[in-house]
């Protein structure tokens, strides 16, 4: 986890478009979409817990933003 996110200084709110871009960036680098543990350490996505609170969980947001 990067220092800013760890210190609670990350982005306050994320849009679905930003999440989509983050998931796609991870996929372009790794050839697959991230697990919840990988989401937590990837600086282009909010924490998995944040996704849970804001969007209803990883399964829900993946269905909404991943083609």
Residue spans of the domains in the chain: they are: 13-65
Helices (H), the chain: 3-6, 16-30, 36-41, 48-55, 58-65
- With bands split at pLDDT 50, 70 and 90, how would you rate the model's confidence at 25? very high
Tokens linked to 65:
């933003």
Whole-angstrom Cα distance, residue 26 to residue 44?
A: 8
- With bands split at pLDDT 50, 70 and 90, how would you rate the model's confidence at 10? low
Predicted confidence (pLDDT) at residue 8 exceeds the cutoff of 80:
no
Q: What's the whole-model pTM score?
A: 0.78
């Amino acid at each position: 986890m990067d220092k800013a996110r760890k210190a609670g200084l990350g982005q306050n709110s994320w849009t679905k478009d930003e999440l989509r871009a983050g998931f796609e960036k991870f996929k372009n680098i790794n050839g697959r979409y991230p697990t919840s543990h990988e989401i937590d350490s990837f600086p282009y996505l909010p924490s998995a817990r944040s996704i849970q609170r804001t969007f209803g969980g990883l399964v829900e947001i993946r269905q909404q933003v991943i083609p």
